[in-house]
Chain A
Amino acid sequence: MTKWNWPAIGALWLFVGLVPAMAAAEEETAAEAPAYSKSGADTCLNCHGDNPVVMGIFRTRHAQPGDPRTPFGHGQLQCEACHGPGGAHTKRPKKGEERTPVVQFGRGKASTIGEQNQMCLGCHNSNLGNWHVSAHDDNEVGCADCHDSHDPRDPVRQKATQAEVCKTCHQLKVADSLLPFAHPLHEGQMACTSCHSPHGSPADASLKRDTVNETCYTCHADKRGPFLWEHQPVTEDCTLCHKPHGSAQAGMLKQRPPFLCQQCHGAQGHPSVPGLPAGLPGGGAPSAYLLASGCANCHSQVHGSNHPSGARLTR
């Protein structure tokens, strides 16, 4: 690997990036505060009331008149809580002019992703405490890229359909769910959010719990211990041996035994005996180190043992 000169790259980035950006600063001007509509949603629905997609909002949590925190709660801004002030939008445009847009959601719309997300974060900051440090924010993902806030059964909030939404960007990760051994994502019995917090989290890979292991323990608490006899990588990080998105090896292992085990264990004696084709059935000397469960034929307690005679993780 040719090691890059990262300090020099940083300096170059500052020069190439910051100089034009600062020069463009004067282009940015503060917009005049626009006006809201005269009658709120009643004004909007005069034109949009026959659109079933728009009307879906009234079967969602956003439309709870009894909850003052929601856009349709008492005293709130209704459609304009999310779409922004619509006063100018409701005015008939002059001939040859476009109607003044409100905040529109989705990729490729007139509103920038930053403007869109700001509308959502205005209310949802407390749900999204780590949004500002998330990989999704780093890549300027819009809330509406994943959510359909007018759909009473927003696909990304349904366990059975969520992966299809995530697949829009994370094709490779979702494809892994078709590997021979995988969590039941493809079957719709588990969601990406069973492990990940797409709105950001303090943990690696936006995991729901503080570490990989603490996330895994929510379903696999039998691996938590502490055990009398522990296996060091198990206590540190499950993904040292496992591929949680799917694997061609049973148990979602990165590699099958004995090869996986021999990436760390090579003591003289049977741990260093190579797995070779001569050890296959029909090869004359079928090998217990290679076949069936490989090393785990004997060392079955690889996650740890609480047996006083479990020092070799066999009991």
Chain B
Amino acid sequence: MDKPNTLIAFAVTSVLAAGTAAADNAAGVDTSGWECESCPFQTDYEAEAEIGVLYVDEDSAKYGEYNGLDQKGAYADVNANGGSRNESGTYYRYDMRDLGLDTREAEFVFGKEGMVEATLSYDELPHRIWDTTVTPYQRSGKDTLVLPSGWIPAGSTGGMTALAGSLSNVDIGTDRTTIGAGLDYLFGSNLKLFADFSRQEIEGRKLGSANFLFSSLQLPEPVDAAHDQIEIGATYRWKSGFTRLAWYGSIYDNALTGMTFDNPYVPIASDTVQGRKALAPDNKAQTYSLDGNFLLPWWQGVVSYRLAEGTMDQDESFLPFSTSAGLSATAMLPRSNLAGDVSTSHYRATLSLKPHPRIRARVGYRYDERDDGTRPFTSAFVDDDSLPAPAATSLRYGYERTLYDGFGEVKVLDWLYLGLGGEFDEIDRSNQASKQTQEEGSYVQVRMRPWSSIELSGRYGQSHIDAGDYVVTPGLPPENPLLRKFNQTNRDRDYSEVRVGWSPWKLSIALEGTYAFDAYRLSPLGLRSGRDYRYAGTVSWPVSEKTSVYLSGSYQNIATEQAGEEVFPSTANLWLVTHEDEFTTAGGGIVWNDVAGKVDVTLDYTYAKSRGLVDTVASPQSSAGAFPKLETELNSLRLSASYDVNERLRVGAGWTWEDYDSSDWQIAGVGPSTLPNVLSMSPDPYQYSVNVVGVSFSYRFGKSSAAEE
């Protein structure tokens, strides 16, 4: 039986097993006299529109990273929402935000109650990354970068005498636009057909890189792609469960197959004055799925299930081996495209039971498979548009994952719950050093509410991964046999977490803490250990009905230790790196509503600081030691106020001040020619201090809320 037929057979079985369809008003109450005469259902047009202006006083890609306010200047602040419904149940709603900004979005919903609903949406998301980057490259086309006509190639960046005079600023970032459409159609109360479509269009530049053997360059890599996704299906609701059958399709369409760039270095092969790299290929994926659950007639049992079968395909035509005709001729493509063909399977079934009012339990099974059926590709190739290279074979990677898990909890006392859970997780991989890893994990969980104002919960668990034999794939240069990939080696993990909710007097206090420690006991080299502890807390205080205050903070500390060996086997060349990353946040705010019945005020402050310490031990120790600290610090203050001129008109004003400072040794002081063999785009560590002020007017249309009341 092939896989789609399996799904259909299971769907039919589900239908037969689930029984008859549900009836309206399951309680069987005669509500014929329940007129709902005092129910103020919407019957008119109601809306609110806001128009205003924002002013930003400094250019900063980082501040504008996701809000689009990256340029100094004025921006229109336009928002609107509204809708209407008539007594026949036909309605529409719309919600439009940030229409004057690069984050503009809009959603329109219309339909008829109990029958159909359609949705249209539009959403823009900017991603500003760098505005301090420079490049000597000029664009002769979207996917072709050329050097200026007077460029003088050299063996290293220091010899590129035309470099300084050729640099120009280029911003790095993308814009993502998403349009969507959805439709829900109801046949009666129990059958729903649904369809959702979305199209993402992504354009811009990211900071890419490329190389000619041991000389490399950073470059503005073009992005111009679209991603269409569609999901259609049907859901049927039974008296004792539901069944959903769906199909999901995804098509990624990249307008750019590859990009070429002039070689700024003296070519190794005489005719490789250009290099070419491939960009993400067009690809497709689809998934058929069957979901549902059965509500069992005993022990409040629920069986949930999901069966999903999918494929991922890719057949983009290959680029030539090299820009060099001579080098390309040294090898022959075995085929014109990959004909990539991956199938995926996901099966999940769980049973949850409450055999007693004080006992609940669940057990589950899951199976995931990624089966790469692509024919292997073996060919000689050209190394970085520079030299012929011997044949290599593209390994195909797949895995099968089988997971069993369970959890049980007992209400020991009215205020005390004890839980116990565990799982067994087995992953079989193809073409990897460890063919199989098995993870066994268990945890205990306690929840208690000793007094009505306090809730505590805690969990402690352990897990152990057994990776079996670890066989290093032969290759040149040889991989160090003492180094084990951290996802394929033995690991012991301890973890715990605690949560407290406490409401003394009018305060509300929430505390959270977690701890985890990983030991990679069979890994003399590579990642050897990791430790992570975090805690956070929030205190909220509703001072009065109109005023509330909050304070919050968090701290996390993550440390890892890894080792390597420059020449092996030789412990004299052992090196050790420890990392410790700290992250602290703090914040506070006050909300003051209805001041004099007219004014709302909000003040909010956020602080975030990260610090990274990298320490090294190596031989000779004079070259090792600690790196400079990696630091970022954010201070953000937001003040907003609004005044109700009357019940329809409101005036708002706001001010945001945000200051950001960072230091990063990986990019600080790295100019275009600092590294002899990397032509850098020289981004600077982020720094800004931005003020944004704004004023707006909003107006309510339609029936006023006062009239309703």
Contacts and interface: CB of A to CB of B under 8 A. Distances in A.
Contacts of B452: 108
Interface in B411-437: 411-413, 417-422, 429, 431-432
B593 to A, nearest CB: 13
B74 interface: no
Contact of B534 (A22, A172, A278): A172
Interface string B28-47: 01011111111111100000
A129 B583 contact: no
Contact of B666 (A221, A232, A256, A307): A256
Q: Which among A22, A222, A274 has the highest number of chain B CB atoms within 10 Å?
A: A274
B687 interface: no
B208 A315 contact: no
Contacts of B200: 219
A20 interface: yes
Interface in A110-137: 122, 125-126, 129-130, 132-133, 137
A49 interface: yes
A226 B36 contact: no
B387 to A, nearest CB: 10
A39 B410 CA distance: 41
A1 B304 CA distance: 36
A18 B510 CA distance: 30
B40 A55 contact: yes
Given A280-B627, A298-B216, A175 B554 contact: yes
A264 to B, nearest CB: 4
Interface in A28-73: 28, 36, 38-42, 45-46, 49-50, 52, 55, 58-59, 63-70, 72-73
Given A225-B283, A226-B342, A40 B34 contact: yes
Contacts of A301: 277-278
B222 to A, nearest CB: 12
Contacts of A171: 510, 512, 536-538, 552, 554
Given A189-B66, A274-B575, A307-B319, A296 B209 contact: yes
A223 B492 CA distance: 31
Contacts of A277: 616, 623-628
Contact of A218 (B114, B229, B612): B229
Interface string A297-308: 110110101111
A132 B211 contact: no
B318 to A, nearest CB: 5
B568 interface: yes
B442 interface: yes
Given A69-B114, A264-B485, A58 B567 contact: no
B632 interface: yes
A67 B89 contact: yes
Given A211-B368, A221-B283, A222-B225, A292 B218 contact: yes
A17 interface: yes
Q: Which among A66, A235, A281 has the highest number of chain B CB atoms within 10 Å?
A: A66
Contacts of B145: none
Interface string A226-253: 1111101101110010000000100000
Interface residues of A, number: 142
B185 to A, nearest CB: 13
Nearest to B562: A263
Contacts of A155: none
A67 B277 contact: no
Nearest to A210: B346
Nearest to A220: B227
B31 A75 contact: yes
Contact of A4 (B277, B442, B556): B442
Interface stretch (B162-170, B262-270, B392-400, B649-657): B392-400
B351 to A, nearest CB: 9
A184 B316 contact: no
A41 B250 contact: no
A138 B420 CA distance: 11
A126 B244 contact: yes
A166 to B, nearest CB: 12
Nearest to B283: A224
Interface string B291-315: 1110100000010101010001010
A101 to B, nearest CB: 15
Given A232-B397, A266-B526, A125 B241 contact: yes
A301 B562 CA distance: 24
B678 interface: yes
B705 to A, nearest CB: 8
B36 A65 contact: yes
Contact of B447 (A122, A140, A232): A140
A297 B211 CA distance: 7
A196 interface: no
Contact of B556 (A172, A187, A233, A309): A172
A255 B675 CA distance: 22
Contact of B623 (A140, A176, A276): A276
Nearest to B573: A272
A294 B666 contact: yes
A165 to B, nearest CB: 13
A20 B211 contact: no
A217 B228 CA distance: 12
B670 A262 contact: no
B34 A39 contact: yes
Contacts of A256: 666
Contacts of A64: 89, 113-114
A214 B235 CA distance: 22
- Main SS of the interface on chain B? strand
Interface stretch (B50-58, B476-484, B640-648): B476-484
B312 to A, nearest CB: 6
Contacts of B627: 277, 280
Interface string A173-201: 00110111000100101000000000000
B670 A286 contact: yes
B420 to A, nearest CB: 5
A277 B577 CA distance: 11
Interface string B571-604: 0000101010101010000000000000000000
B71 interface: no
A21 B227 CA distance: 54
Given A28-B357, A39-B35, A232-B432, A75 B487 contact: no
A282 interface: yes
A176 B581 CA distance: 13
Interface string B531-542: 000111110000
Contacts of A107: 455, 501
Contacts of A288: 214, 216, 675, 677-678
A25 to B, nearest CB: 6
Given A108-B503, A221-B283, A6 B442 contact: yes
A172 B216 contact: no
B246 interface: no
Contacts of B420: 9-10, 13
Given A125-B237, A232-B432, A292-B218, 12 more contacts: A20-B412, A21-B410, A52-B709, A58-B42, A65-B36, A277-B626, A292-B209, A296-B209, A298-B211, A307-B258, A308-B333, A311-B381
18 contacts: A1-B462, A6-B462, A72-B36, A76-B24, A126-B237, A129-B291, A132-B362, A139-B447, A226-B372, A236-B487, A259-B614, A266-B480, A268-B567, A272-B565, A290-B666, A292-B666, A293-B209, A311-B392
Interface of A: 1, 3-4, 6, 9-10, 13, 16-18, 20-22, 24-25, 28, 36, 38-42, 45-46, 49-50, 52, 55, 58-59, 63-70, 72-73, 75-78, 85, 107-108, 122, 125-126, 129-130, 132-133, 137-140, 160, 167-169, 171-172, 175-176, 178-180, 184, 187, 189, 202, 210-211, 214, 217-219, 221-230, 232-233, 235-237, 240, 248, 255-256, 259, 262-269, 271-278, 280-282, 286-288, 290-294, 296-298, 300-301, 303, 305-312, 314-315
- What are the 8 closest A-B residue pairs judged by CB atoms, nearest first? A66-B89, A66-B113, A40-B34, A17-B410, A222-B280, A67-B114, A202-B348, A226-B340
